[in-house]
């Protein structure tokens, strides 16, 4: 009997409906980030419908004001918290460690702010956000200043044309960096009723619920990951016993006996892993029924041959021969068994190593497959 968690993973998605009924209670954390001096703090105030000198507004200054991570609740959206992050690339908040130092993982959504075209550090931030599977808006702030500068320097100035060119330039620059459909908003923090600010509010109002829902799904996936890790630890603790049994079999000087015993034990262990990670047919059908995701879609998500059906000795032997050093050890074990005196101890050690390495490899592979299946069931990115 294994000591892993007895939670039935296929029932976890059913918990989501209970939580969605209380969607307003879910806290949504939005990170406002970008280079220092781009108007991040003023944006926090404007987005909350406040002026910089209002009671409860975030403190704004001429010099770098935000030196710590500060939070501000949104007055309209329940449990939506705006986090005013320090500017990237300063002496204290260096670009190389900024993501780690500000705790990017805890935020559910981001707004990257620049007062010009988006620069190297802005692109780095966007790619880091993509890497952790989160979403973001690009905001070109101080667009009023951009228009004023153009008007002073262009005798044929046209505001609409300047805005269109600025937007096109921003989008093209981001697309050249690999962002296929970037959401870019041109706005002024001092004109929250003008330019793209109304559009930004409209988009956010439409996306608050999906963002909270996505946050919930990520939370459920994290819970599931803990269940998988717990089961993996329990399985891993038993591998040494399989290795010891394999070594004992290698001590019997009968040709082919050790390999036959090893294969039988590995088949038994791996079959237990498949069932324990809920990758067997009955578990996948339960998961499909509880999430509405077709069984075939869940099955297709599993790439490992170990999760494709019955585990046999032939499958295990084929995989062992593909494991490089493990296949060499397997062959060496059989040939050293009949060396006088030292042969049996050497063969026993090699047999232990082969079984131990193989089971650890198969366990890691199936744990990854289990996580992919559950993410697919929740509709999350499985890349």
Closest by CA position to 35, among listed 110, 118, 107, 108: 118
Tokens of 69: 């991570």
For the chain, the C-alpha Rg in angstroms (whole number) is 29
Q: What is the pLDDT of residue 254?
A: 38
pLDDT at 256: 40
- Residue 19: the pLDDT is 53
CB atoms within 10 A of CB 344: 18
Q: Which two tokens stand for residue 19?
A: 């939580």
pLDDT in tens, 93-120: 877 888 888 888 888 889 999 888 788 8
Which pLDDT belongs to residue 112? 92
Which pLDDT value is given to residue 369?
92
Residue 305: name the closest of 320, 290, 326, 287 by CA. Answer: 320
Please give the pLDDT value at position 253.
44
Count the neighbouring beta carbons within 10 Å of the beta carbon of residue 102: 20
How far apart are alpha carbons 68 and 383 in whole angstroms? Answer: 33
Q: pLDDT digits over 43-71, tens only? A: 998 888 888 888 878 887 645 555 678 88
Residue 248: predicted pLDDT: 59
pLDDT value of position 329 = 46
Burial class of residue 4 in the structure, from the number of CB atoms within 10 Å of its CB (0-12 exposed, 13-18 middle, 19+ buried): middle
Q: Which residues, given as ranges, of the chain have pLDDT below 50?
A: 1-7, 62, 250-258, 326-333, 338-344, 346
Distance CA(110)–CA(121), nearest Å, equals 15
Whether 311 contacts 270, CB under 8 Å: yes
Q: How far is Cα 278 from Cα 291, in angstroms, rounded to an integer?
A: 15
HEC letters along the chain: CCCCCCCCHHHHHHHHHHHHCCHHHCCEEEEEEEECCCCHHHHHHHHCCCCCCCCCCCCCCCCCCCCCCEEEECCCCCCEEEEECCCECCCCCCCCCHHHHHCHHHCCEEEEEECCCCCHHHHHHHHHHHHCCCEEEEEECCHHHHHHHHHHHCCCCCHHHHHHHHHHHHHHHHHHCCCCCCCEEECCCCCCCCCCHHHHHHHHHHHHHHHHHHHHHHHHHHHHHHHHHHHHHHHHHHHHHHHHHHHHHHCCCCCCHHHHHHHHHHHHHHHHHHHHCCCCHHHHHHHHHHHCCCHHHHHHHCCCHHHCCCCCHHHHHHHHHCCCHHHHHHHHHHHHCCCCCCHHHHHHHHHHHHHHHHHHHHHHHHHHHHHHHHHHHHCCCCC
The confidence score (pLDDT) of residue 6 equals 46
Query: Which residues are CB-neighbours of 209 under 8 A, at least 6 positions away?
Result: 23
Residue whose entry in the numeric block shows the structure tokens 């101890």: 345
> Listing from the earlier edge strand, what are the strands of the sheet with 109-114?
70-73, 80-84, 28-34, 109-114, 135-140, 184-186
Residue with tokens 């780690």: 100
Token pair of 312, please? 């046999």
d(CA 31, CA 36): 14
pLDDT of residue 186: 94
Predicted TM-score (pTM) of the model is 0.57
- Determine the pLDDT at residue 5: 47
């Amino acid at each position: 009997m294994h000591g892993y968690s007895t939670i039935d993973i296929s029932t976890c998605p059913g918990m989501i409906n209970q939580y969605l009924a209380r969607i307003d209670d879910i806290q949504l954390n939005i990170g406002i980030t970008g280079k220092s001096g781009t108007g991040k703090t003023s944006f926090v105030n404007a987005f909350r419908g406040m002026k910089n000198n209002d009671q409860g507004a975030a403190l704004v200054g001429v010099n770098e004001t935000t030196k710590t991570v500060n939070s501000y609740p949104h007055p309209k959206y329940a449990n939506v918290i705006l986090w005013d992050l320090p500017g990237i690339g300063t002496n204290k908040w260096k670009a190389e460690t900024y993501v780690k130092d500000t705790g990017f993982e805890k935020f559910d959504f981001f707004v990257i702010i620049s007062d010009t075209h988006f620069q190297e550090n802005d692109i780095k931030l966007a790619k880091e956000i993509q890497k952790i599977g989160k979403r973001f808006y690009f905001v070109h702030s101080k667009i009023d200043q951009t228009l004023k500068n153009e008007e002073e320097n262009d005798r044929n100035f046209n505001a609409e044309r300047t805005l269109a060119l600025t937007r096109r330039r921003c989008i093209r620059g981001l697309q050249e960096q690999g962002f296929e459909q970037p959401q870019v908003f041109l706005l002024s923090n001092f004109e929250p009723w003008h330019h793209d600010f109304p559009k930004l509010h409209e988009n956010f109002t439409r996306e608050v619920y999906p963002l909270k829902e996505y946050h919930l799904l990520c939370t459920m996936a994290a819970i599931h990951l803990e269940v998988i890790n717990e089961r993996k630890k329990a399985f891993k603790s038993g591998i040494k016993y399989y290795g010891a049994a394999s070594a004992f079999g290698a001590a019997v000087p009968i040709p082919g006996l050790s390999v036959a015993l090893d294969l039988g034990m590995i088949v038994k262990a791996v079959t237990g892993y498949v069932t324990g990670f809920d990758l067997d047919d009955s578990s996948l059908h339960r998961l499909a029924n509880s999430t509405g995701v077709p069984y075939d879609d869940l099955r297709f998500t599993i790439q490992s041959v170990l999760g494709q059906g019955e585990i046999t000795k032939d499958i295990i032997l084929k995989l062992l021969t593909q494991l490089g050093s493990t296949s060499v050890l397997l062959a060496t074990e059989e040939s050293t068994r009949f060396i006088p005196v030292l042969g049996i101890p050497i063969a026993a050690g090699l047999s232990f190593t082969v079984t131990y390495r193989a089971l650890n490899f198969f366990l890691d592979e199936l744990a990854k497959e289990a996580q992919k299946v559950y993410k697919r069931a929740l509709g999350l990115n499985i890349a």
